[in-house]
Amino acid sequence: MAGRPTQGAAWTAGTGPNDRRLSGLTPRQTQRVRDLARQFLAENGLEAVVHDDHLRTADGREFGLYTLASKCHNAPLGEGSWPVVVRDYLGGLLAAYPDVPPPVTEEQLRERACLRLVNLHSLKPEAYEWYRYARRLGAGFVEMLVLAEDGFARFLNDADVALVGADELRGIARENLRAIEPDEYELRSKDDTHLHVVRGASGFIASKLLMLPEVLAVVPGLRTHYPDGLLVAVPNRHELAFTPLGLNAPYDLLALAEYAALMHTHGEAPLAPFVYWWRDGELTQLTAADAAGHLTWAAPYEFVEVIARMWDEPLAS
């Protein structure tokens, strides 16, 4: 992955209506992405209402801005090429879905359903009622089912899933996720920290977190089960970073937090800039952002207890 940045930059979320920074963009750049997207849709006969992180057209379709913003942020030719980036990305969406998507069929579900790791902040609160089958993992994440179509992912609602049945379709989707192979594995070692990273062109690499023990099974030197869990990060949809929880946890946590913030800003399709504690499929958030968007620690007492036990040091009463 040529051109990957090596020096960290502070992640910031931005504040205020229509001033929410996307993928490391400044407020001005963020607004320009919104304007370019609205203009492109208008040129294609679609009037859109602009929101912080998406555009909604009069026919009810929504076009998220996170992936588009990350593509603009990482455009090799700089801001001058953004109109072309917007045209190519939204043009691809319109070509794939020229109208409101037709109902899915059972055949499509059996062929192309896939598990997807989804951050709840990307969904409207009212949409939760459409996805009652979704499994909550903790820390604002859910396991959902999507239909993978030509580089895009279409969320499947309860009615879609009922065509096959939630349990059976989840099994099919898991097999399809298993078949997606990362393109690259990297062991990032510095001083006493060791971070394992898998990445690839597929936008489903981060979703491999949903089957983390199977990922661990193919990483040299790692076991498939760690009683105290692992530190994990999914900064964007193309990367999954992790390290087993051990005596070096405070330093691993800091290194992973820096990496997650960096790649959330510089990677394509940002997902989350934070670090999580993974235990038997459940997630607990360990880092967060304050009101100014600066990284803070959010480790619960239970996590501190585990680290203290590892060090065999009594906690202060």
List, for residues 235-290, the tens digit of each pLDDT value. Answer: 999 999 999 999 899 999 999 999 999 998 888 888 999 999 999 999 999 999 88
Residue whose pair of structure tokens reads 């980036």 in the numeric block:
85
The residue among 164 and 294 whose pLDDT is bigger is 164
| For residues 224-232, average pLDDT | 96
Residue 150 has pLDDT above 80, yes or no: no
Q: Which residue has the higher pLDDT, 25 or 125?
A: 25
Phi-psi region of 237 (alpha: psi -120 to 50; beta: other; left: phi over 0): alpha
What is the pLDDT, as a whole number, of residue 317?
Answer: 44
How far apart CA 265 and CA 274 sit, in angstroms, is: 12
pTM: 0.79
Q: At 306, list the tokens.
A: 């585990």
| pLDDT range class, residue 313, cuts 50, 70, 90 | low
Distance CA 98, CA 156 (A): 18
Q: What is the pLDDT of residue 6?
A: 31
Q: Which residue has the higher pLDDT, 52 or 210?
A: 210
In degrees and rounded to multiples of 5, residue 118 shows phi and psi of -125, 135
Average pLDDT over residues 107-133: 89
Structure-block tokens of residue 60: 């009810």
Report whether 208 contacts 215 (CB < 8 A).
yes
Residue 284 CB coordination number (10 Å): 17
Question: Cβ-count burial of 267 within 10 angstroms (0-12 exposed, 13-18 middle, 19+ buried)?
Answer: buried
Average pLDDT over residues 109-133: 89
> Is pLDDT above 80 for 106?
yes
47 contacts 59 by C-beta, under 8 angstroms: no
Lowest-confidence range among 10-14, 37-41, 201-205? 10-14
Give 202's pLDDT tier (boundaries 50, 70, 90): very high
Predicted confidence at residue 54, as pLDDT, reads 85
Whether 94 shows a pLDDT value over 90: the answer reads: no
Contacts of 168 (CB under 8 A, 6+ apart): none
| CA 302 distance to own-chain centroid | 26
Residue-level pLDDT at 274: 96
* pLDDT, greater one: 7 or 273: 273
Looking at the chain, the whole-number percentage of residues with pLDDT higher than 70 is 91
pLDDT at 306 over 50: yes
| Mean pLDDT computed over every residue of the chain | 87
SS3 readout for the chain: CCCCCCCCCCCCCECCCCCECCCCCCHHHHHHHHHHHHHHHHHCCCCEEECCCEEEECCCCEEECHHHHHHHHCCCCCHHHHHHHHHHHHHHHHHHCCCCCCCCCHHHHHHHEEEEEEEHHHCCHHHHHHCCCCEEEECCEEEEEEEEECCEEEECCHHHHHCCCHHHHHHHHHHHHHCCCCCEEEEEEECCEEEEEEECCCCCCHHHHHHHHHHHCCCCCCCCCCCCCEEEECCECCEEEEEECCCCHHHHHHHHHHHHHHHHHHCCCECCCCCEEEECCEEEECEEECCCCCEEECCCHHHHHHHHHHHCCCCCC
Write out pLDDT tens, residues 72-85.
998 999 999 999 99
Output the CA–CA distances (angstroms, integers) from residue 109 to 169, 198, 209, 270, in the order listed. 8, 27, 22, 26
pLDDT at 175: 98
Residue 50 confidence (pLDDT) above 60: yes
